[in-house]
Chain A
Amino acid sequence: MAGYGATSRQRQRINAVLFLGPACVLLFFFFIAPVIVDIFVAFTDMGRTLRITELTTANFERMFTRDRRLAQTLVVTFMYVLATLAVFNVTFGLLLALVTTAVPERVGGFFRSVWLLPRMSPSVIYALLWAWAIDPNERGLLNQILINTVGIGPIDLMNDHPLLLIVVANGFIGASMGMIIFTSAIRAIPEHLFHAARVDGAGGLAIVRHITLPAIRWPLSFITVYQTLSLLVSFEYIWLITDGGPFYDTTVYALYVYKRAFESGQYAYGAALALMLVLLGIGLALLMWRFFDMKRLLQTPRIEVH
């Protein structure tokens, strides 16, 4: 019996290493190690030459007292995240889900696929399409449409409304994730609840308000938190379409970090900025976690089937 127990314990240990090992290794190299390196570099004076001459808090001093651009970057980030989230990733995603589940399935499926296309196309191609669409002279797609149908234009979106441009460009992609999650959540609502509500006198909007929205409360919270964090740290489309410009008008925080570190070669300062972004993200996540009461989501199954 004792011998059996020993081998069983051994086996358990081997299993733990086998099953958890790869994930732990990945976690370490791609998440924990970079953070440690980042923290270390943030307290150095590493520049383009990659040489470290002293340990210092100068980077943080600069960040909080001298970097005037940083404040503007934070404002841009706030407006960008809030607008994209409020207009597209949550609201428009929800609207798409509501509409495409209300119409016949074939039509709904078609429209959902259309909205998935930008997500599936490579970022560079998507960015190129935008560049072509908003071309400031008369040949641009947007200007052709404006001139021929509305009779105004040509307009130069890139220079006149750059923030609007990056919000829309990101929103067209971001809406699809919410759309998919919300669609499946709406599908999971037992049909008899809709029937009951109709018999009880509820019209279309009342049903959305009293049946659909309460039933998808958790996916809604989840998408809001998830998309906030993901918008906060990603900048590839902005980088590709406007490169943060004109001037610094569309430089969000994450892009600013990238520019400082890799375009200006101020690695140490970039690291310090990145560290703040991580802390900002964690703080925001905790705040929203609290606000949406996500703990309850993880405690018990939230999709109630009757």
Chain B
Amino acid sequence: MARIELRKIRKQWGEVVAVEDLDLVIEDGEFVAILGPSGCGKSTTLFMLAGIYMPTAGELLFDGIPVNEVEAKDRNVGIVFQSYALYPHLDVRRNIMFPLKFKGVPKAEAARRAVEAARLVHVEELLDRMPSQLSGGQQQRVALARALVKEPQLLLLDEPLSNLDATLRLSMRTEIKRLQRHTGVTTVLVTHDQIEATTMADRIVCMRKGRIEQIGTPEDLYERPDSLFVASFIGAPPINLLPGEARDGRLAVGGTELELLGAAAGRVILGIRPEALRPGEGGLPATVLDVEPMGRETLFLLETPLGQLRALLSGATAPYGAGDRTAFTFDPEDSILFSESSERRLPDVHVRLPA
């Protein structure tokens, strides 16, 4: 296992800068997710960790030892590609045994370890099949076995669930988490799906346009997003964002004013998560515009003096119908404020509904 450190890592192709100024420490045995929209440099970062790409600048250390110049074949990392990348001319057994071929593991032991790895991901009955005879989920398990069989010091997963259907995705999520716990291997998962990141990882690295936006636990990113980008990227349904103007201890939003707790001035953005809104006497007067049942929860689209808001209430049956008039409220701690110009969060600033 290894402790991974990235110092000011940068990768560019000609004029295209894919990753810039990346500073990150991944502790031994930690499960970290790199989260961000497509094209933000997640795979590039992962490929640099694997040694497939060499950083243009910066320093990469495994357990304190610089590995910038160490080739992929000598890094002892396991990787699962988005497309699985199983060797099409080799059967499952030989696919899993492939990495051991280059580690000088005797044939008999390699075969034994391949079966062991296959058992770990529940593909032991597929050992004699060819990759083309496997379903997507099975291919993915085989790819996992191939990555794990060499007992890597670092496991890298590039969008491993994106090609699976919803049910399979759910079970593989649990499965991968179990495997990571079981083996204790330092793991980096790349995903554009915030649910995947928040459910699987100990810590999340949120990236945007080749730079790190925020590093933190899933709770950190959800409750204390550093920026507007993180706030809107994390959470489903997405956070309500309302432009406003802070002046003299008050925040003017839409057609009304809120009480400002903390120091802020100028143009700001108010963020309130749909889950933070709940019905309450004397709150914001709200007209229900639309009701969307979402299984155990129900999403309401509300017209309020602040503007249009989404509110998520637990319960499968809606207490209100479209056209109903009611009132909604929220706790001041659940309100988040961002500077409009810098898009950064204003720490310790909240708003309260006027009494």
From B75, B88, B99, residue with most partner A Cβ within 10 Å: B88
Q: Does B304 contact A (CB under 8 A)?
A: no
Contacts of B79 in A (CB 8 A): 195-196, 199
Q: Which of A196, A202, A211 contacts B102 (CB 8 A)?
A: A202
Whether A211 contacts B87 by the Cβ 8 Å rule is yes
Q: Do the beta carbons of A201 and B88 come within 8 Å of each other?
A: no
With contacts A215-B89, A304-B88 taken as known, whether A199 is within 8 angstroms of B98 at the C-beta atoms is: no
Interface residue tally for chain B (C-beta within 8 Å): 30
Interface flags for A111-148 (1: CB within 8 Å of B; 0: not) read 00000000000000000000000000000000000000
Q: A200-B146, A201-B99 are in contact. Are A195 and B85 (CB under 8 A)?
A: yes
If A200-B150, A210-B98 are given as contacts, then 6 extra A-B residue pairs at C-beta distance below 8 Å, sorted by A number, are A190-B85, A192-B81, A195-B85, A200-B73, A202-B102, A306-B131
Q: How far is the CB of B140 from chain A (nearest CB, A)?
A: 11
Beta-carbon nearest neighbor of B131 in chain A:
A306
Measured between beta carbons, the chain B residues less than 8 angstroms from A210 are 87, 98
A188 to nearest B CB, angstroms? 12
Q: Does B72 contact A (CB under 8 A)?
A: yes
- 25 inter-chain pairs at a CB distance below 8 angstroms, sorted by A residue, are A190-B83, A192-B81, A192-B85, A193-B87, A195-B52, A196-B79, A196-B85, A198-B72, A199-B52, A199-B72, A199-B79, A200-B73, A200-B98, A200-B102, A201-B73, A201-B74, A201-B99, A201-B150, A203-B102, A210-B98, A217-B89, A306-B83, A306-B86, A306-B88, A306-B139
B102 CB to nearest A CB, Å: 3
Chain A positions 173 through 201: 1 when the CB is less than 8 Å from some CB of chain B, otherwise 0: 00000000000000000101101111111
Q: Which residue of B lies closest to A204 (CB)?
A: B73
Please report A residues at the B interface, Cβ cutoff 8 Å.
190, 192-193, 195-203, 206, 210-211, 214-215, 217, 304, 306
Output the nearest chain A residue to B89 by Cβ-Cβ distance: A214
The reply on B183 being an interface residue by CB < 8 A is no
In the complex, which residue of chain B has the Cβ closest to the Cβ of A195? B52
Complex Cα spacing A202 to B72, Å: 9
B157 at interface by CB-CB < 8 Å? no
On whether the beta carbons of B73 and A193 are closer than 8 Å, the reply is no
Contacts of A203 in B (CB 8 A): 73, 102
In the complex, what residues of A have CB within 8 A of residue B103's CB?
201
